[in-house]
Amino acid sequence: MPSVVHFEIPADNVERARKFYSGLFGWEIKQMPGMDYWLFTPGGEKPAGGGMMKRQHPQHTITVYFDVASVDEYSAKVKDAGGSIAVPKMAVPGEGYFAVCMDTENNAFGLWEANKEAK
């Protein structure tokens, strides 16, 4: 069954947001080399990893990613259920594939397929 594996927090001012979340929750937030993207892992029994980036557009809100066996399969299921695909399947080289979808209530969520062969 798909579960939450990652979430992204957009920020107008990433440094300010980093200070806020690290101060509030004690998260260690590190920039990915060569990217404007910062990773963190909250504590807890089964923490989902997280990322932070510059806000892409005014409606860009926190996005939750669900682990699925196949982004292609679940993208089709999203459409069959009445949702839509906002960002089609893309590779994160050496890590996996993702797509960003919209549900029937216009909420964004992501699909994540781990695959070390992704190019």
In this prediction, residue 41 has a pLDDT band, given cuts at 50, 70 and 90, of: confident
pLDDT of residue 42: 79
Instruction: Read off the CATH number of the domain in which 48 is found.
Output: 3.10.180.10
Q: Give the model's pLDDT for residue 25.
A: 87
On whether residue 62 sits in a domain, the answer given is no
Domain range holding 93?
Answer: 68-119
Q: What percent of the chain has pLDDT over 70?
A: 97
Top-confidence residue, 27 or 100: 100
Predicted model pTM? 0.86
**1 and 51 belong to one structural domain:** yes
**DSSP annotation string for 63-94:** EEEEE-S-HHHHHHHHHHTT-EEEEEEEEETT
The residue to which tokens 């509030």 are assigned: 24
Number of domains in the chain: 2
